[in-house]
Amino acid sequence: MRELIDSAQKRKDILKHMILQLHKGEAPDAIKKQLIRLLGDIPYGEVVEVEQELITEGLPIQEVLKLCDIHTVALKGHIDQSGAAAIPPGHPVHTFKQENRALEWALSSAKKIFDQIDALPDSEDATGLVLELRSHMNALIDVEKHYARKENLLFPYLEKHEITGPPTVMWGKHDETRALLKAAIEAVNAAGEISAVDARTVAELVLKPAANAIEEMIYKEEQILLPMCVDTLNDTEWYAIYQQSSEIGFCLYDPEDSWRPEGMPNDTKPASEQEQIQLPSGSVTVPELTAMLNTIPFDLTFVDKDDTVRFFTQGRERIFARNRAILGRKVQLCHPPGSVHIVQKIVDDFRSGKASSAPFWITLGGRFIHIEYYALHDENGNYLGTLEVSQDLTEKKKLEGEQRLLSYSKE
C-alpha cells in the first residue's frame, strides 16, 4: 500500500476512478472515506491534472461542473498545500485572498441573520432582519469584480500554459453563482413585510444557496486554483495581471500595497500618459489631468449611462469615503437600502430628461456639505451618465468683505 500512496500516477488514477464513481452516483461520504484511507492528503496539482484529464478524455464539461462540488466536498480538508509559496502584499494572489476575507466577513454577517430568523416564532415579523440581509447580499454582488479579474486576466495566462480544463470548470461555477446571486437579490428586494416562516423559506430556497456557492468558490480558489497559478505563472505574467487589475476593480477591498517583482525594470510611462489628450478647449496629459482633478476643492464621482461607478477624484480632504472597490459597482448598491429609491428616481429622471440636476445640502459632523448630481449628455443629447459633486462649504459661508488678488499673502 505504501507504494500506491507514494506514486503520483497511481494516486491520480485512484482519484480519477473515485470521481467517476461519483459520476455514476456513488455517495460522496463513502468516496471520501476511501480517498482518505487510500491516499491521505492529495497534492493540489494532482487534483487539477485529474480534472484536465477527465475533460480531455471526453467527460462533458457540464458533467465535470456537476461533479466539481461533490468531489470538492469529498476532498475538503485533505488537499496538501505544504509546498505552496509565500505571497507578498500587493501581489495579485494576495489581493484575491484579501478579497476572500472580506467576502467571508459578509457571509458570516449574513449567516448570523439566518440564525436569528431561524430562532423566531413562525408568525413573528422578520422584515427588519430581511432588510439587514439585503445590505449584506448587496455587498456580496461585488464578487463579480473578483470573478471578472479571474476570467479576463488570470485564465488567459493559464490557457497560454495549456491549462484549459480547470478555468473552464471554474468559469462555469462563476456563472452558476451569478445566477444564484441574482435570484437572491431579487428575492430580498421584493420582500416587503414578511413573517419569520416566509423569511426562512426565502433563505432556504435562494439566499443560503447563493451564500454557499460563494463560500465553496473561496475554498476551490485557495486550495486548488491559486496555488496552481503560483506554480505556473512567472513574475512577468503576474506583473501584467497586477497592472491591469485596477481597470476591472476590486471586491470589497482596496489594495494598499504596491508590488513589483524583483529584477523587473522600472516602468516607462505608457504612451497614453505621455501623449496629450486633445479636448475642444485645449490639451493635457494624463498626469496633468489627474493633478487638476485631485486639486479642485470638491469631490467628483462619475456614474456611467449603465449606472456603474467608473471614476472618482482622490483629493487630500475627502468628504465621503471612496476606494477603488466601488469601481464597477452599480450606484444603487453604493447607498443604504433606505435611500436607494431616491437614487433610482434621480437616475431615471436624468435618463428621461425630466431633470438635469438634483441639489442637496446637509450638516455632517458640524460641517455644511453641499451635494449636487448633474446629468451628462453628449452634443446630440444622448445621456452619458451622472456626475456627483460634493463640497464642504463651511468656511466659504463665513466669508465677508473682499479678498482681492493684490492682497494675496503667503502668510
Q: Which of the two residues, 77 and 184, has the higher pLDDT score?
A: 184
Does residue 191 lie within any of the structural domains?
Answer: yes
What percentage of residues in the chain have a pLDDT greater than 90? 37
Does residue 330 lie within any of the structural domains?
Answer: yes
Q: Which of the two residues, 164 and 213, has the higher pLDDT score?
A: 213
Grid coordinates of 206: 435562494
Quick one: 65 and 140 in the same domain? no
Of 206, 224, 248, the domain-final residue: 248
pLDDT of res. 141: 92
Quick one: 244 and 102 in the same domain? yes
Quick one: 332 and 356 in the same domain? yes
Quick one: 159 and 225 in the same domain? yes
Does residue 263 lie within any of the structural domains?
Answer: no
Confidence of residue 266 (pLDDT cuts 50, 70, 90): low
Q: Which of 26-30, 50-54, 394-398 holds the top average pLDDT? A: 394-398
Of 58, 80, 102, the domain-final residue: 80
Q: Go through the chain and tell me how many residues it has.
A: 411
Does residue 255 lie within any of the structural domains?
Answer: no
Q: How confident is the model over 116-130, as a mean pLDDT?
A: 92
- Of the candidates 298, 344, 332, the one whose C-alpha atom is nearest the C-alpha of residue 318 is 298
Q: How confident is the model over 42-48, as a mean pLDDT?
A: 61
From residue 29, alpha-carbon distances to 21, 259, 394 in Å are 12, 43, 65
Q: What residue has cell string 471586491? A: 251
Grid coordinates of 177: 453563482
Quick one: 55 and 114 in the same domain? no
Does residue 130 lie within any of the structural domains?
Answer: yes
Span 187-244, pLDDT tens digits: 988 877 899 999 999 999 999 999 999 998 998 888 778 887 888 899 999 998 998 8
Quick one: 175 and 109 in the same domain? yes
Span 65-112, pLDDT tens digits: 555 555 455 555 544 455 556 789 999 999 999 999 999 999 999 999
Quick one: 96 and 57 in the same domain? no
Q: Cβ distance 1 to 34 under 8 Å? A: no
Grid coordinates of 259: 508590488
d(CA 133, CA 335): 15
pLDDT of res. 39: 47
DSSP state of 86: P
DSSP state of 12: H
From residue 354, alpha-carbon distances to 345, 347, 370 in Å are 10, 10, 22
- Half-sphere exposure of residue 9: CA atoms within 13 angstroms, side-chain side: 0
Of 218, 233, 248, the domain-final residue: 248
d(CA 26, CA 157): 35
DSSP state of 339: G
Averaged pLDDT of the chain: 81
Quick one: 62 and 171 in the same domain? no
Which residues have a Cβ under 8 Å from the Cβ of 53 and sit 6 or more positions away?
A: 12, 16, 165
Which structural domain range is residue 344 located in?
A: 298-398
Q: Cβ distance 257 to 161 under 8 Å? A: no
Q: CATH number, domain at 365?
A: 3.30.450.20
Quick one: 28 and 101 in the same domain? no
Quick one: 14 and 131 in the same domain? no
pLDDT of residue 316 exceeding 60: yes
Strand partners, 358: 373
pTM assigned to the model:
0.66
Q: Which of the two residues, 339 and 349, has the higher pLDDT score?
A: 349
Quick one: 33 and 133 in the same domain? no
pLDDT of res. 390: 92
Q: How confident is the model over 259-278, as a mean pLDDT?
A: 72
Angle among Cα 134, 135, 136 to the nearest 5 degrees reads: 95
Does residue 85 lie within any of the structural domains?
Answer: no
User: Could you give phi then psi for residue 66, rounded to 5 degrees?
Assistant: -65, -40
